Amino acid sequence: MNLGGYSMALRPVSRMLSAVLALLMLVGMAIMGAVRAEAAFTFAAAGDFNQTSDTAASLATAASGNDFFLALGDLSYGTVGAEGVWCDFVKSYVGSSYPFELISGNHDADNADGFIRNFTACLPDHMGSTGDYGVEYYFDYQGLIRVIMIAPNLTIDGVNYEYLQGNSHYNWLSSKIDQARAQGIKWVVVGMHKNCITMGIKSCEIGSDLMNLLISKRVDLVLQGHDHVYQRSKQLTCATEGSYSATCVADDGADNAYTQGAGTVLVVAGMVGTGLYTIDTGDSEAGYFAKWMGDNINPTHGYVKFAVSQNQISAQFVRSSGGTFSDSFTITSSGGNPPDTIPPAVVTTLRPLTTP
Protein backbone atom coordinates (compact mmCIF):
# COMPACT_ATOMS: atom_id res chain seq x y z
CA MET A 1 0.00 0.00 0.00
CA ASN A 2 1.31 3.42 -0.89
CA LEU A 3 1.17 5.72 2.18
CA GLY A 4 3.10 8.54 0.57
CA GLY A 5 -0.03 10.67 0.21
CA TYR A 6 -0.88 10.26 3.85
CA SER A 7 2.67 11.19 4.87
CA MET A 8 2.59 14.36 2.79
CA ALA A 9 -0.80 15.28 4.22
CA LEU A 10 0.42 14.87 7.78
CA ARG A 11 3.44 17.13 7.38
CA PRO A 12 1.53 20.43 7.79
CA VAL A 13 -0.22 18.99 10.84
CA SER A 14 3.13 17.95 12.32
CA ARG A 15 4.59 21.38 11.74
CA MET A 16 1.53 22.96 13.36
CA LEU A 17 1.80 20.70 16.40
CA SER A 18 5.49 21.55 16.74
CA ALA A 19 4.70 25.26 16.63
CA VAL A 20 1.94 24.85 19.23
CA LEU A 21 4.23 22.87 21.54
CA ALA A 22 6.97 25.48 21.20
CA LEU A 23 4.48 28.22 22.04
CA LEU A 24 3.22 26.31 25.06
CA MET A 25 6.79 25.84 26.28
CA LEU A 26 7.47 29.58 25.98
CA VAL A 27 4.26 30.40 27.83
CA GLY A 28 5.13 27.87 30.53
CA MET A 29 8.60 29.30 30.96
CA ALA A 30 7.15 32.80 31.22
CA ILE A 31 4.67 31.67 33.86
CA MET A 32 7.40 29.88 35.83
CA GLY A 33 9.55 32.98 35.68
CA ALA A 34 6.68 35.12 36.93
CA VAL A 35 6.04 32.69 39.79
CA ARG A 36 9.71 32.78 40.76
CA ALA A 37 9.63 36.58 40.74
CA GLU A 38 6.72 36.66 43.20
CA ALA A 39 7.76 36.97 46.82
CA ALA A 40 7.84 33.64 48.62
CA PHE A 41 7.74 35.48 51.94
CA THR A 42 8.43 38.80 53.62
CA PHE A 43 10.25 39.79 56.79
CA ALA A 44 11.07 43.04 58.54
CA ALA A 45 14.07 44.38 60.47
CA ALA A 46 15.16 47.36 62.53
CA GLY A 47 16.68 48.21 65.89
CA ASP A 48 16.74 50.74 68.73
CA PHE A 49 13.22 50.40 70.11
CA ASN A 50 12.56 51.97 73.52
CA GLN A 51 8.90 52.17 74.58
CA THR A 52 7.62 55.40 73.05
CA SER A 53 4.62 56.34 70.94
CA ASP A 54 6.92 56.03 67.91
CA THR A 55 7.83 52.48 69.01
CA ALA A 56 4.15 51.65 69.34
CA ALA A 57 3.43 53.03 65.86
CA SER A 58 6.16 50.83 64.38
CA LEU A 59 5.08 47.70 66.25
CA ALA A 60 1.46 48.25 65.24
CA THR A 61 2.24 47.07 61.70
CA ALA A 62 5.45 45.11 62.30
CA ALA A 63 3.79 41.70 62.15
CA SER A 64 1.36 42.55 59.37
CA GLY A 65 2.25 40.45 56.35
CA ASN A 66 5.74 39.74 57.67
CA ASP A 67 6.74 36.15 58.42
CA PHE A 68 9.24 37.29 61.06
CA PHE A 69 10.87 40.42 62.48
CA LEU A 70 14.59 40.83 63.19
CA ALA A 71 15.03 43.06 66.25
CA LEU A 72 18.54 44.49 65.85
CA GLY A 73 19.32 45.27 69.47
CA ASP A 74 18.88 48.05 72.03
CA LEU A 75 15.48 46.91 73.12
CA SER A 76 13.88 48.56 76.17
CA TYR A 77 16.44 51.14 77.35
CA GLY A 78 14.99 50.23 80.74
CA THR A 79 16.40 48.44 83.77
CA VAL A 80 17.51 44.92 84.56
CA GLY A 81 14.56 43.05 86.01
CA ALA A 82 11.95 44.98 84.04
CA GLU A 83 12.49 43.20 80.73
CA GLY A 84 9.15 41.42 81.03
CA VAL A 85 7.30 44.72 80.93
CA TRP A 86 8.87 45.53 77.57
CA CYS A 87 8.21 42.04 76.26
CA ASP A 88 4.54 42.40 77.19
CA PHE A 89 4.51 45.76 75.39
CA VAL A 90 5.86 44.12 72.23
CA LYS A 91 3.53 41.13 72.45
CA SER A 92 0.52 43.40 72.85
CA TYR A 93 1.14 44.39 69.23
CA VAL A 94 2.66 41.32 67.55
CA GLY A 95 1.20 38.51 69.66
CA SER A 96 2.89 35.94 71.89
CA SER A 97 3.68 33.40 69.16
CA TYR A 98 4.95 35.75 66.46
CA PRO A 99 8.65 35.25 65.53
CA PHE A 100 10.12 38.46 66.95
CA GLU A 101 13.76 37.39 66.77
CA LEU A 102 16.25 39.16 69.05
CA ILE A 103 19.92 40.03 68.99
CA SER A 104 21.69 41.92 71.76
CA GLY A 105 22.66 45.56 71.50
CA ASN A 106 24.98 47.42 73.83
CA HIS A 107 21.99 48.42 75.99
CA ASP A 108 21.16 44.71 76.40
CA ALA A 109 24.63 43.36 77.22
CA ASP A 110 26.39 42.95 80.58
CA ASN A 111 25.94 45.85 83.02
CA ALA A 112 23.48 47.69 80.78
CA ASP A 113 19.81 48.79 80.73
CA GLY A 114 18.32 45.33 80.52
CA PHE A 115 19.83 41.92 79.88
CA ILE A 116 19.50 39.91 76.68
CA ARG A 117 19.00 36.60 78.54
CA ASN A 118 15.94 38.04 80.26
CA PHE A 119 14.59 39.36 76.97
CA THR A 120 15.03 36.02 75.22
CA ALA A 121 13.20 34.31 78.09
CA CYS A 122 10.05 36.37 77.46
CA LEU A 123 10.45 36.70 73.66
CA PRO A 124 11.82 33.25 72.78
CA ASP A 125 12.98 31.97 69.41
CA HIS A 126 10.22 30.83 67.05
CA MET A 127 12.36 30.06 63.98
CA GLY A 128 14.04 26.82 65.09
CA SER A 129 17.38 28.60 65.32
CA THR A 130 20.75 26.94 65.85
CA GLY A 131 23.27 28.45 68.24
CA ASP A 132 22.97 30.86 71.16
CA TYR A 133 19.69 32.69 70.59
CA GLY A 134 20.00 36.43 71.20
CA VAL A 135 23.79 36.36 70.94
CA GLU A 136 25.16 34.21 68.10
CA TYR A 137 22.78 32.05 66.07
CA TYR A 138 21.29 31.38 62.65
CA PHE A 139 18.21 29.97 60.97
CA ASP A 140 17.20 29.01 57.44
CA TYR A 141 13.76 29.77 56.06
CA GLN A 142 11.94 28.07 53.20
CA GLY A 143 15.26 26.95 51.75
CA LEU A 144 15.75 30.45 50.33
CA ILE A 145 17.52 32.45 53.01
CA ARG A 146 19.99 32.00 55.84
CA VAL A 147 19.78 34.66 58.55
CA ILE A 148 22.80 34.89 60.84
CA MET A 149 22.57 37.07 63.95
CA ILE A 150 25.67 38.11 65.89
CA ALA A 151 26.63 40.51 68.70
CA PRO A 152 30.09 41.90 67.84
CA ASN A 153 31.97 44.15 70.27
CA LEU A 154 29.68 43.19 73.15
CA THR A 155 30.28 41.34 76.42
CA ILE A 156 27.55 38.90 77.45
CA ASP A 157 27.83 36.63 80.47
CA GLY A 158 31.47 37.73 80.69
CA VAL A 159 32.26 36.53 77.15
CA ASN A 160 33.69 39.09 74.72
CA TYR A 161 32.15 38.65 71.28
CA GLU A 162 34.95 39.92 69.08
CA TYR A 163 35.20 38.68 65.49
CA LEU A 164 38.94 38.65 64.89
CA GLN A 165 40.44 36.69 62.05
CA GLY A 166 41.14 33.14 63.18
CA ASN A 167 39.27 33.23 66.48
CA SER A 168 36.31 30.97 67.28
CA HIS A 169 33.60 33.57 66.62
CA TYR A 170 35.11 34.59 63.28
CA ASN A 171 35.49 30.96 62.21
CA TRP A 172 31.94 30.12 63.27
CA LEU A 173 30.52 32.98 61.19
CA SER A 174 32.69 32.20 58.18
CA SER A 175 31.67 28.54 58.26
CA LYS A 176 27.95 29.34 58.47
CA ILE A 177 28.17 31.61 55.43
CA ASP A 178 30.12 28.98 53.47
CA GLN A 179 27.72 26.25 54.58
CA ALA A 180 24.73 28.21 53.27
CA ARG A 181 26.39 28.67 49.88
CA ALA A 182 27.38 24.99 49.72
CA GLN A 183 23.79 23.97 50.47
CA GLY A 184 22.49 26.14 47.66
CA ILE A 185 20.67 28.58 49.93
CA LYS A 186 20.08 31.56 47.70
CA TRP A 187 20.38 34.51 50.07
CA VAL A 188 22.61 35.19 53.08
CA VAL A 189 21.72 37.98 55.50
CA VAL A 190 23.77 38.90 58.57
CA GLY A 191 22.19 41.01 61.32
CA MET A 192 23.86 42.73 64.25
CA HIS A 193 23.57 45.84 66.35
CA LYS A 194 26.79 47.79 65.91
CA ASN A 195 28.30 49.47 62.86
CA CYS A 196 31.53 50.11 61.03
CA ILE A 197 31.06 52.69 58.27
CA THR A 198 28.32 55.27 58.87
CA MET A 199 27.30 58.88 58.24
CA GLY A 200 25.89 59.08 61.75
CA ILE A 201 27.69 59.61 65.05
CA LYS A 202 29.12 56.11 65.54
CA SER A 203 32.52 54.72 64.56
CA CYS A 204 33.84 51.36 63.37
CA GLU A 205 33.04 49.41 66.51
CA ILE A 206 32.72 45.93 64.97
CA GLY A 207 36.33 45.98 63.73
CA SER A 208 38.01 45.57 60.37
CA ASP A 209 38.24 41.78 60.38
CA LEU A 210 34.49 41.33 60.60
CA MET A 211 33.72 44.01 58.04
CA ASN A 212 36.17 42.55 55.56
CA LEU A 213 34.84 39.02 56.11
CA LEU A 214 31.25 40.02 55.36
CA ILE A 215 32.23 41.87 52.20
CA SER A 216 34.70 39.26 50.98
CA LYS A 217 32.05 36.54 51.39
CA ARG A 218 29.64 38.60 49.30
CA VAL A 219 26.99 38.53 52.02
CA ASP A 220 23.90 39.87 50.28
CA LEU A 221 22.66 42.10 53.10
CA VAL A 222 24.18 43.32 56.35
CA LEU A 223 21.55 44.71 58.74
CA GLN A 224 22.53 46.97 61.64
CA GLY A 225 21.10 49.36 64.22
CA HIS A 226 23.04 51.38 66.85
CA ASP A 227 23.21 54.64 64.88
CA HIS A 228 19.69 56.05 65.29
CA VAL A 229 19.30 56.83 61.60
CA TYR A 230 18.55 55.08 58.32
CA GLN A 231 21.30 54.48 55.79
CA ARG A 232 21.45 52.29 52.70
CA SER A 233 24.89 51.72 51.27
CA LYS A 234 26.05 51.39 47.74
CA GLN A 235 27.04 47.86 46.78
CA LEU A 236 30.54 47.46 48.17
CA THR A 237 33.54 45.28 47.41
CA CYS A 238 35.57 46.91 50.20
CA ALA A 239 35.41 49.84 52.61
CA THR A 240 37.90 52.03 54.40
CA GLU A 241 37.06 53.39 57.85
CA GLY A 242 37.54 57.14 57.91
CA SER A 243 37.79 57.74 54.16
CA TYR A 244 36.00 57.00 50.91
CA SER A 245 37.42 54.96 48.05
CA ALA A 246 35.44 54.94 44.81
CA THR A 247 37.16 51.71 43.79
CA CYS A 248 35.19 49.95 46.54
CA VAL A 249 31.87 50.62 44.82
CA ALA A 250 30.50 47.93 42.51
CA ASP A 251 27.13 49.66 42.06
CA ASP A 252 26.24 53.15 43.28
CA GLY A 253 22.58 52.24 43.81
CA ALA A 254 21.36 55.39 42.08
CA ASP A 255 18.72 53.36 40.22
CA ASN A 256 17.83 51.46 43.43
CA ALA A 257 18.73 48.16 41.75
CA TYR A 258 21.66 45.89 42.57
CA THR A 259 22.81 42.56 41.15
CA GLN A 260 23.51 39.71 43.55
CA GLY A 261 27.15 38.75 43.87
CA ALA A 262 28.62 42.08 42.79
CA GLY A 263 29.13 43.19 46.38
CA THR A 264 27.48 43.68 49.77
CA VAL A 265 24.70 46.13 50.68
CA LEU A 266 24.56 47.50 54.23
CA VAL A 267 21.36 48.81 55.80
CA VAL A 268 21.58 50.77 59.06
CA ALA A 269 18.07 50.83 60.51
CA GLY A 270 18.16 52.24 64.03
CA MET A 271 14.94 54.20 63.83
CA VAL A 272 12.10 52.14 65.35
CA GLY A 273 11.20 54.35 68.28
CA THR A 274 14.02 55.95 70.24
CA GLY A 275 15.35 59.45 69.54
CA LEU A 276 17.08 59.90 66.18
CA TYR A 277 20.66 61.07 65.61
CA THR A 278 21.88 63.53 63.01
CA ILE A 279 23.34 62.63 59.63
CA ASP A 280 26.54 64.28 58.45
CA THR A 281 26.47 64.58 54.67
CA GLY A 282 30.06 65.83 54.83
CA ASP A 283 31.25 62.74 56.68
CA SER A 284 34.40 61.14 55.27
CA GLU A 285 32.47 57.89 54.76
CA ALA A 286 29.41 59.50 53.11
CA GLY A 287 30.51 58.35 49.66
CA TYR A 288 29.71 54.76 50.58
CA PHE A 289 25.99 55.50 50.94
CA ALA A 290 23.17 55.88 48.43
CA LYS A 291 20.30 56.97 50.72
CA TRP A 292 20.00 58.34 54.25
CA MET A 293 17.70 59.84 56.87
CA GLY A 294 18.30 61.30 60.34
CA ASP A 295 17.12 63.80 62.92
CA ASN A 296 18.25 66.67 60.68
CA ILE A 297 17.03 65.17 57.38
CA ASN A 298 13.33 64.29 57.18
CA PRO A 299 13.26 62.48 60.57
CA THR A 300 11.02 59.44 60.22
CA HIS A 301 10.50 56.37 62.39
CA GLY A 302 9.75 52.92 61.05
CA TYR A 303 11.40 49.71 59.89
CA VAL A 304 12.50 47.99 56.69
CA LYS A 305 10.43 45.32 54.96
CA PHE A 306 12.02 42.71 52.69
CA ALA A 307 10.16 40.58 50.14
CA VAL A 308 12.17 37.49 49.23
CA SER A 309 11.87 35.25 46.17
CA GLN A 310 14.20 32.84 44.42
CA ASN A 311 15.61 35.56 42.20
CA GLN A 312 15.13 38.81 44.10
CA ILE A 313 15.08 40.62 47.44
CA SER A 314 12.94 43.74 47.34
CA ALA A 315 13.31 46.18 50.24
CA GLN A 316 11.08 49.03 51.35
CA PHE A 317 11.35 51.56 54.17
CA VAL A 318 8.03 51.42 56.04
CA ARG A 319 7.17 54.74 57.67
CA SER A 320 5.32 54.52 60.99
CA SER A 321 5.54 58.09 62.35
CA GLY A 322 7.33 61.39 61.95
CA GLY A 323 8.40 62.63 58.53
CA THR A 324 7.84 61.47 55.00
CA PHE A 325 11.10 59.65 54.22
CA SER A 326 10.92 56.72 51.83
CA ASP A 327 13.34 54.32 50.21
CA SER A 328 13.18 51.10 48.23
CA PHE A 329 15.68 48.93 46.41
CA THR A 330 16.13 45.48 44.92
CA ILE A 331 18.89 42.90 44.76
CA THR A 332 18.33 40.61 41.77
CA SER A 333 20.01 37.30 41.10
CA SER A 334 22.12 36.97 38.00
CA GLY A 335 21.84 33.18 38.24
CA GLY A 336 23.86 30.71 40.30
CA ASN A 337 25.49 31.37 43.65
CA PRO A 338 27.76 34.37 44.24
CA PRO A 339 31.48 33.69 44.62
CA ASP A 340 32.77 32.85 48.09
CA THR A 341 35.54 35.41 48.03
CA ILE A 342 36.86 38.39 46.12
CA PRO A 343 40.49 39.02 45.21
CA PRO A 344 42.39 40.01 48.38
CA ALA A 345 43.83 43.08 46.65
CA VAL A 346 40.32 44.58 46.53
CA VAL A 347 39.73 44.33 50.27
CA THR A 348 40.97 47.42 52.05
CA THR A 349 42.19 46.86 55.58
CA LEU A 350 40.19 48.75 58.18
CA ARG A 351 41.52 50.04 61.45
CA PRO A 352 39.76 48.12 64.24
CA LEU A 353 38.09 50.32 66.83
CA THR A 354 36.18 49.40 69.97
CA THR A 355 33.76 51.16 72.26
CA PRO A 356 34.87 51.77 75.83
Whether residue 353 lies inside any domain: the answer is: no
Report strand pairing: 312-322 vs 68-71.
unpaired
User: Is 106 found in the same domain as 143?
Assistant: yes
Please count the structural domains in the chain.
2
Q: Give the range of the structural domain holding residue 15, as residue numbers without chain letter.
A: 1-37
Whether residue 304 lies inside any domain: the answer is: yes
Report strand pairing: 187-191 vs 221-224.
parallel
pLDDT at 336: 57
User: Is 208 found in the same domain as 82?
Assistant: yes
pLDDT at 353: 36
- Cα(294)–Cα(327) distance, integer angstroms: 13
pLDDT at 234: 98
pLDDT at 334: 85
Query: Which ranges of the chain have pLDDT less than 70?
Result: 1-37, 336-356
User: Is 293 found in the same domain as 145?
Assistant: yes
Global pTM value: 0.86
pLDDT at 22: 52
User: Is 2 found in the same domain as 122?
Assistant: no
pLDDT at 39: 73
User: Is 215 found in the same domain as 77?
Assistant: yes
Dihedral of CA atoms 269, 270, 274, 279 in degrees, nearest 10, equals -100
User: Is 289 found in the same domain as 234?
Assistant: yes
